[in-house]
Amino acid sequence: MSCKTILASKVSASFRNQIKEDIKERNIKPKLVGFLANEDPAAMKYAEWTSKTCAETGVEFELRKISKLELEEKITEANDDKSINGIMVYYPVFGGKQDLYLQSCVSELKDVEGLCHKFVHNVYHNIRFMDETETMKCIIPCTPLACVKILEYIGVYNPVIPYGNRLYGRTIAVINRSEIVGRPLAAMLANDGAKVYSVDVNGIQVFTRGTGIKLAHHKVEDIDATVEQIIPQCDVVITGVPTPKYKMPTSLLKDGVVAINFSSSANFEDDIKTKASIFVPSVGKVTVAMLERNLLRLHDYQNDLTEKNKN
C-alpha cells in the first residue's frame, strides 16, 4: 500500500510558524473574539482548537459564550470595539437563512472567516483585491482556503503553470454545495482552471471557467449525470457531508486519486488507502491557521499597513 496520509497538523505547521514569527518580530498582539451560541460538539471542538492554536502563536483569543438571541447585538458591539481585530462565529446558530444574515453582520474589516457577502461575492467573481489600487487582498472563506492550501502543499496546484491557472487540466469533485464551503470552494477551484463537479442532494453541477465574461470567471451548468458516472473521472475528490452515514464508495474512485475530507465525519471508506495516492482525513487545523492568517491581514488593514505602506 503506497498511499500517503497527510495530516492537517503537518500542512498547518509552516503557516503557524510563520504567523508566530511575524507576531513576535513585529511585537504586535492581535486579538480574536469567537462567539459560541450553540452546544454543537463539532463547534466546541473547533473553538478548543482555535484557543489552543492562538495560545501557541501569540494571538489573544477570547471565547464569548452567549445566547443565540444576543448574538447580533454582541457582534455589533465587537465591530465597534477597537481592541478587537477579528470576529468569528461558531455556526450553526439558528441553522437556516438567519445564519447567512448574521454572517454579513460582521464588519468586513474584522471578518476573519471571510463569510460576509462582499468576500463571498468576490470569490464567485474572481475579484482578488478589496480596493481599486490592489493593495488589500480579499479575505477568503477559511475552509475553502484551507482546502486550496492543502492542494498546493500536496502538489495538485502546479507551480510551473502561471498563477491563476495552476489547476488547468485537473478534474475535481466537491461533495457538498453549502454556501459556507462547497459552493465557494467549487468556484475557487474553477477560477484557477479546474473542471469541478459540484455534488449535493439536489443534483450535480459543473463549474468551469467561462471565456471573456467580465466578472464571472467561472460558469455553472446543471448536468444530467450520476455520481457513478463522474467520480471515476476525477483526479481529486473532496468530501464534506456532515454525517457519518455518508461514505464515498472506494470502488468508484480512480486509481491514484487524491482524497480530501473536510467533514467532521469520515466520508471515505476504511479501505480508501487501497486506492488513493494521497489521503487527507481532515482539514480543521489548516482552517484555524487560515483564520489566524486572515486575522493578521485584517489587523494590518485596520492599522493601514497594506503592502504598499509596509514597503
- CB 57 within 8 Å of CB 19: yes
Q: Count residues near a second copy (CB under 8 A).
A: 29
Taking the least distance from each CB to a second copy, the nearer of 104 and 135 is 104
**Binding flags for a second copy, 145-184, as an x/- string (CB under 8 A):** ---------------------------------xx---x-
Instruction: Determine the residue type at 185.
Output: L
Catalytic residue among 54, 116, 142, 147: 142
Kindly tell me which of 127 and 252 has the beta carbon lying closer to a second copy: 127
Residue 98 in the binding site for a second copy (CB under 8 A): yes
Do residues 306 and 286 touch, judged by C-beta distance below 8 A? no
Q: Give the interface segment with a second copy, choosing from 57-65, 163-171, 207-215, 288-296 (CB under 8 A).
A: 207-215
Pick from 42, 100, 252, 305 the residue near a second copy by CB under 8 A: 100
Binding characters for a second copy, 212-251, by CB under 8 A (x = yes): -xxxx--xxxx-----------------------------
72 near a second copy (CB under 8 A):
yes
Residues with Cβ within 8 Å of residue 225, at least 6 apart in sequence: 204
Catalytic residue check, 105: no
Helices (H) and strands (E) in the chain, counts: 10, 11
Q: Rule CB under 8 A: choose which of 15, 90, 124, 279 binds a second copy.
A: 124
Which segments of the chain are extended strands (E)?
A: 4-5, 31-36, 60-65, 86-90, 171-175, 195-200, 203-208, 219-223, 236-239, 258-261, 278-280
25 scored as a contact of a second copy (CB under 8 A) = no
Angle in degrees, CA 66, 101, 182, rounded to 5: 100
Choose which of 10, 64, 125, 254 interacts with a second copy (CB under 8 A).
125
Q: Which of 25, 307, 297, 308 is nearest to 142 (CA)?
A: 297
Query: Which among 246, 248, 265 has a CA at the least distance from the CA of 257?
Result: 248
Torsion 77-82-83-88 (CA) sign: positive
Q: Which of 45, 55, 83, 101 binds a second copy (CB under 8 A)?
A: 101
Q: Does 121 bind a second copy (CB under 8 A)?
A: yes
The residues that are catalytic are 142
